[in-house]
């Protein structure tokens, strides 16, 4: 009996010690936090009951900083869209104040945006607000504001807008370079006008080029983060967030044959987003440096032809005569393998890294030449060959919204047309004028309202602060007769 009692006592003491250690270690709790010691920004992954990832805290952080954006693309005439005003009725109709008949059908689009500063700056996709006459921003708490387009960058499909409000919730930028394939991410946006929708997935790939922007812009930068988080129409411009509640991308595109989510979505990396938005705020437009090279991906076939023992990198096909790389000593058949010490395995990666720099910045390229590594420092230039960035912020004017590029009129042409001066339309893009008139390249603007125009600078001055109806007077060199264009402007 004495031996049995001693055995029971030892068992009880051992059991109590085990229970104490179990509680001390925290194994009695239903929720366990695992912390990974890595360079990834997602160092904290929460697991709830059953061992499943818990996205509740991420959603609570992200939702208030993601907004709904409604864009109104003016008034599209049901009859002929672009023609000259032939009567007073037509003139009022172009101004958007026709008292005779309302023949306009406003077109609307919807998307998402992310508040990146508490004073109202919001990043979204360029295609969400491109060519919009009005932008309405609705916050998570249902407050609604008129948004102002600060600037756009079609090369990355990004845009910056602003609302007049303070103390807004924001999403901090994460480091998209540190994002790893396989890590959890959350997409937040407004698909199908269903506000504040949260979906989850993993990073499927990085530095994806899907040629969705390059068809419109040869200098487009496509180095998307690919995920399998569900993204649908309306999610554009919304947030891709890591498990720390940090912004690592702006959701931009999906791979689909139906127009709806079919398994993969693509986001612009946050490091590129940060640079683009900072440029727009500081300079009024994106200040981008270029290497000035024609490149392609290195693969096994090309590596064999070049007798290289690597199969990843960026092969230099040729160089532009006045480009940055040529001036620094880069040569055709070089293979770039690193930029500023960071490996680059593909063209999209190289374009993204370089795209984060401004003219005048120096980048260090590590390349393979004749089987040996060589390091070259390159001072980046603009496409025009300058190393200068904008010296002061550029104030967005009504002129920016018109979608036309102007140039000086030659002395020979002024003399032939017997006019004192003017501003010649060099090109017509997407903007107010192209939407509401049939103005063509070559047209010379000689008067705006009651203001005489003698140079492109005069056009900018004439349109600063202009509102309501605008009347442009001018002459087309080929026709030699005075013509008028009228349209409305907010």
Residues 6+ apart with CB under 8 A from 38: 180
List 157, 279, 334, 458, catalytic entry = 157
Structure tokens of 384?
Answer: 């025009």
| Terminal alpha carbon distance of the chain | 99
Half-sphere exposure of 385 (CA within 13 A, CB side): 6
Alpha-carbon distance values, 297 to 60, 64, 318, 330 (Å): 41, 41, 13, 17
Residues 6+ apart with CB under 8 A from 39: 178
- Coil, strand, or helix at residue 445? strand
Q: Reply yes or no on whether 157 is catalytic.
A: yes
| Spatial separation of the C-alpha atoms in residues 81 and 106, rounded to whole Å | 13
Q: Reply yes or no on whether 68 is catalytic.
A: no
Alpha-carbon distance values, 384 to 275, 290, 323, 387, 449 (Å): 21, 10, 9, 9, 35
List 42, 68, 75, 127, catalytic entry = 127
Whether the Cβ atoms of residue 289 and residue 245 lie closer than 8 Å to each other:
no
Whether the Cβ atoms of residue 481 and residue 80 lie closer than 8 Å to each other:
no
| Spatial separation of the C-alpha atoms in residues 33 and 447, rounded to whole Å | 69
- Coil, strand, or helix at residue 193? helix
Closest alpha carbon to 149 in 175, 123, 118: 123
Pairing label, strands 468-475, 372-379: unpaired
Q: How many CB atoms neighbour CB 396 within 10 A?
A: 15
| Spatial separation of the C-alpha atoms in residues 442 and 26, rounded to whole Å | 77
Alpha-carbon distance values, 444 to 414, 431, 434, 454, 475 (Å): 10, 18, 15, 10, 5
List 42, 155, 236, 346, catalytic entry = 236
Whether the Cβ atoms of residue 388 and residue 408 lie closer than 8 Å to each other:
no
Whether the Cβ atoms of residue 210 and residue 264 lie closer than 8 Å to each other:
no
Residues present in the chain in total = 490
Active site residues: 127, 157, 236
């Amino acid at each position: 009996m004495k031996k049995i009692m001693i055995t029971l006592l030892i068992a009880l003491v051992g059991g109590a010690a085990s229970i104490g250690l179990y509680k001390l270690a925290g194994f009695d709790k239903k929720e366990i936090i695992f912390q990974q010691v890595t360079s990834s920004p997602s160092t904290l992954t929460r697991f709830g009951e059953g061992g499943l990832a818990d996205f509740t805290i991420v959603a609570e952080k992200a939702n208030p900083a993601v907004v709904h954006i409604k864009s109104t693309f003016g008034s599209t005439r049901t009859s002929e869209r672009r023609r000259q005003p032939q009567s007073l009725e037509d003139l009022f109709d172009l101004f958007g104040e026709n008292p005779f008949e309302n023949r306009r059908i406003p077109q609307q689009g919807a998307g998402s945006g992310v508040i990146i500063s508490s004073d109202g700056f919001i990043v979204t996709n360029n295609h969400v607000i491109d060519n919009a006459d009005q932008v309405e921003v609705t916050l998570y708490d249902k407050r609604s504001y008129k948004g102002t387009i600060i600037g756009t960058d079609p090369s990355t499909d990004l845009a910056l807008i602003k609302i007049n409000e303070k103390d807004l919730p924001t999403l901090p930028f994460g480091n998209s370079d540190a994002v790893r394939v396989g890590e959890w991410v959350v997409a937040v946006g407004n698909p199908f006008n269903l506000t504040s929708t949260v979906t989850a997935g993993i990073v499927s790939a990085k530095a994806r080029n899907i040629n969705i922007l390059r068809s419109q812009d040869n200098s487009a930068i496509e180095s998307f983060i690919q995920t399998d988080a569900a993204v649908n129409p309306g999610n554009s411009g919304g947030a891709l967030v890591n498990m720390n509640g940090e912004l690592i991308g702006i959701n931009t595109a999906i791979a689909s044959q139906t127009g709806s989510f079919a398994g993969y979505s693509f986001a612009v990396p946050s490091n590129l987003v940060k640079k683009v938005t900072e440029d727009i705020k500081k300079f009024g437009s994106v200040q981008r440096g270029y290497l000035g090279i024609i490149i392609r991906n290195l693969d096994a076939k090309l590596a064999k032809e070049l007798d290289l023992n690597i199969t990843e990198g960026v092969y230099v096909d040729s160089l532009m005569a006045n480009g940055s790389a040529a001036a620094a000593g880069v040569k055709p058949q070089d293979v770039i393998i690193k930029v500023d010490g960071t490996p680059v395995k593909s063209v999209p990666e190289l374009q993204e890294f370089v795209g984060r720099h401004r003219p005048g910045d120096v980048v260090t390229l590590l390349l393979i030449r004749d089987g040996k590594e060589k390091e070259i420092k390159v001072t980046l230039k603009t496409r025009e060959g300058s190393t200068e960035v904008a010296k002061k912020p550029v104030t967005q004017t009504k002129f920016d919204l018109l979608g036309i590029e102007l140039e000086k009129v030659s002395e020979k042409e002024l003399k032939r047309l017997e006019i004192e001066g003017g501003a010649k339309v060099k090109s017509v893009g997407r903007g107010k004028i192209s939407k509401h008139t049939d103005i063509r390249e070559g047209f010379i603007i000689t008067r705006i309202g009651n203001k005489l125009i003698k140079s492109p600078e005069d056009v900018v001055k004439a349109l600063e602060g202009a509102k309501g109806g605008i009347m442009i007077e001018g002459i087309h060199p080929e026709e030699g007769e005075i013509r008028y264009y009228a349209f409305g402007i907010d």
